[in-house]
Amino acid sequence: MMATNISKITLLFILLTFAQYACVKVEAWDYDPAAIPKDFVPLKKPDPGKGYNLHVPAFPIPANFEREWYMRVAVGNTEEIYMSGYEVKQREGSHHVIAYQYEDEQKAGLPKIGELRDQNQPDGRINPFSNMENMNLLAEAASPYQRVDFPEGFAVPIAANSTLDLNSHYFNKTNQTIFGEVSMNIYTKPKSEVKFFLKQQSADNIEMLVLPPKKTTTIEYKETFSEKRKLKVLFSHMHKRGKKFEVYYLGGPKDGQLMYTNDNWHDPKFVYLPDFIEIEKGNGVRTMITYDNDTNREIRFGVTSEDEMGIFFYFYL
């Protein structure tokens, strides 16, 4: 995600197809529906005209296994809508859930609607066909419950008849099957109430993230923008060995000043700026992320909970 989109992460997934992951072999995804706990109550659907609900029913995560999947779902909107916020509720054990927009809904080869594509095959290897390019992040939550509301007058457009690709990642460190489930509300406002139409972008340290064993390491990444951008909402993503995530201005009169900081990998801070952060063409951002690798192995950028990430997300004009 270097003034990039999700296609870069997708390429990583494919390149790591034959890599070893912290997953053990399981025989099948079969499960007893009667074993699904009855304690999860999905979010109440928004009132008509106020939003849309996306719900993925309970699915199993085998013992000592990480399960991550993608599913293309229809939003249900027959005309363009304007997302002013979102709400996510998940069963416990989730690493994250992400909703991606397709850049081109007409592109050949899009997955079937409602088809669950596992990233991990039952034997623990990566499924290179589970992920798709052509996607940009729309909404993200790393905790069992999260509510995000954009500042008044701001919204993200969603085209008529859109589909989203939901990505859910659960890790099960127990000796028995657990279940995941995802309920997401997209809240909308009339176009007449929207003054600013936001876009999303990200910057990541994929190419330099190397963490030596038994060391605390800070990774620096610099990115310049090819166009002027006015940032409004900021948040970050790292895994459990990420201890501090800092973002600084790169270039311009505020060069070196702190823009964003977060020290909670599982519940990252969303910053809603009272004013825009304006970054001129040729200037950019510098991320400084500190990791503590307490293992005896080298850790790199990757998709499981035993790998690491460092991604700075922002909504902008």
Tens digit of pLDDT for each residue in 66-91? 888 889 999 999 999 999 999 999 99
- The CATH number for 17's domain is 2.60.120.310
DSSP conformation class of 113 = B
Structural domain boundaries enclosing 297: 199-316
Assess whether pLDDT exceeds 50 at residue 209: yes
Higher model confidence: residue 292 or residue 115? 292
pTM for the full predicted model: 0.76
Residue pLDDT, tens place only, 214-238: 999 999 999 999 999 999 999 998 9
Q: Looking at the domain assignment, is residue 1 inside a domain?
A: no
The lowest-confidence range among 19-28, 52-61, 131-140 is 19-28
Reported confidence tier of residue 270, pLDDT bands at 50, 70, 90 = confident
Separation of alpha carbons 99 and 187, rounded Å: 14
180 and 211 both lie in a single domain? no
HSE-CB of 212 using CA atoms within 13 angstroms = 4
Reported confidence tier of residue 42, pLDDT bands at 50, 70, 90 = very high
45 and 96 both lie in a single domain? yes
Our count of domains for the chain comes to 2
Separation of alpha carbons 316 and 35, rounded Å: 44
141 and 89 both lie in a single domain? yes
Higher model confidence: residue 140 or residue 262? 262
Assess whether pLDDT exceeds 50 at residue 139: yes
Q: What pLDDT is stored for residue 118 in this prediction?
A: 83
Q: Looking at the domain assignment, is residue 40 inside a domain?
A: yes
Separation of alpha carbons 269 and 287, rounded Å: 15
174 and 217 both lie in a single domain? no
135 and 278 both lie in a single domain? no
189 and 236 both lie in a single domain? no
Assess whether pLDDT exceeds 60 at residue 114: yes
Among 177, 194, 211, give the residue marking a domain's end. Answer: 194
DSSP conformation class of 42 = P
pLDDT, mean over the chain: 86
Backbone angles phi, psi at 106, to 5 degrees: -95, 0
CB 227 within 8 A of CB 119: no
139 and 242 both lie in a single domain? no
Most confident option among 122-126, 167-171, 288-292, 307-311: 288-292
Q: Looking at the domain assignment, is residue 203 inside a domain?
A: yes
190 and 237 both lie in a single domain? no
Q: Looking at the domain assignment, is residue 167 inside a domain?
A: yes
Average pLDDT of span 271-282: 93
Residue pLDDT, tens place only, 158-178: 999 999 999 898 989 899 999
**Residue type (1 letter), 187:** Y
Q: Looking at the domain assignment, is residue 2 inside a domain?
A: no
246 and 273 both lie in a single domain? yes
204 and 69 both lie in a single domain? no
22 and 50 both lie in a single domain? yes
Among 130, 160, 194, give the residue marking a domain's end. Answer: 194
Strands 145-149 and 81-90 come out as antiparallel
80 and 177 both lie in a single domain? yes
Separation of alpha carbons 22 and 295, rounded Å: 13
Q: Looking at the domain assignment, is residue 245 inside a domain?
A: yes
Among 172, 194, 216, give the residue marking a domain's end. Answer: 194
Reported confidence tier of residue 124, pLDDT bands at 50, 70, 90 = low
Assess whether pLDDT exceeds 50 at residue 24: no
Q: Looking at the domain assignment, is residue 253 inside a domain?
A: yes
Q: Looking at the domain assignment, is residue 299 inside a domain?
A: yes
